[in-house]
Amino acid sequence: DTGELDALLRAAADFASYPGTHGEDTVRQFLEQFPLPKLLGVLQSQADLPETVETVAACLDKVFSSRYGASLLPSYGV
């Protein structure tokens, strides 16, 4: 649904634009609201929209820069 995607993209942009590293609780709360499978799904389904891909990729960079986010990488075969 377009409204849900817009909300996700706004939240991802806000999360990505935060200066510095997010705290572990902030990352955990963000992923509770926007789980990794949903974020990764947007990357796949919106691959032809560079701005969307950049927004989600920047958000994921912040997620995986945290200890909590990095701990999730083995679950995704990375």
Question: What's the average model confidence in pLDDT over 8-19?
Answer: 96
Return the domain boundaries, the chain: 2-73
> CA–CA separation, 49 vs 64, rounded Å?
22
Give the confidence band of 77 by pLDDT, cuts at 50, 70, 90: low
Give me the amino acid identity at 64. F
Q: What pLDDT shows up at residue 76?
A: 64
Give per-residue pLDDT as tens, 60-76. 999 999 999 999 888 76
Other CB atoms within 10 Å distance of the CB of residue 39: 19
